[in-house]
Amino acid sequence: MATERPPVDHEPDYRFTLANERTFLAWIRTALGLLAAGVAVRQLVPPFEVPWATTALAVACIALAVLVAGMSFPRWRRVQAAMRAGAALPPNPLLVVLTVAVLALAGFAAALAVFA
């Protein structure tokens, strides 16, 4: 007995729609946190021995915030479309990008704290 696929463009269960929205808002909160970190680093952290280090760290945080915010809405839209079509959810490359970028930022900040 074959399972019946839902019709294309059906309204998904509202709980899944709300969960997708909460995930989108979590990405936005992450972007806002990175933006705040970039501004805080630039304005509040005393300069390191390396003259450009504070600015580089701040710009990297802000650039990552722009990337996360810019990729979060298209991700929300793709997931919503997949749920409406009854299709598999699309992969999320933003997870890998964010993980690698935060690790790089943490490594750079640790190196500055230890060596500069």
Residues spanned by the domain of 87:
14-115
* Within-domain flag for 80: yes
Q: How many domains does the chain have?
A: 1
Query: Quick one: pLDDT band at residue 53, thresholds 50, 70, 90?
Result: very high
Q: Determine the average pLDDT of the residues in 45-65.
A: 95
Place of tokens 């722009």: 66
* Within-domain flag for 21: yes
pLDDT at 12 over 70: yes
CA distance from start to end of the chain? 68
pLDDT at 103 over 60: yes
Nearest-angstrom CA–CA distance, 65 and 101? 11
* Within-domain flag for 7: no
* Within-domain flag for 42: yes
pLDDT at site 10 = 77
* Within-domain flag for 88: yes
pLDDT at site 11 = 83
* Within-domain flag for 43: yes
pTM across the whole model: 0.85
* Within-domain flag for 19: yes
Query: Quick one: pLDDT band at residue 2, thresholds 50, 70, 90?
Result: low
* Within-domain flag for 4: no
Q: Rounded mean pLDDT of the chain?
A: 92
Place of tokens 């900040």: 109
Nearest partner of 30 among 111, 102, 103, 105, judged by Cα: 102
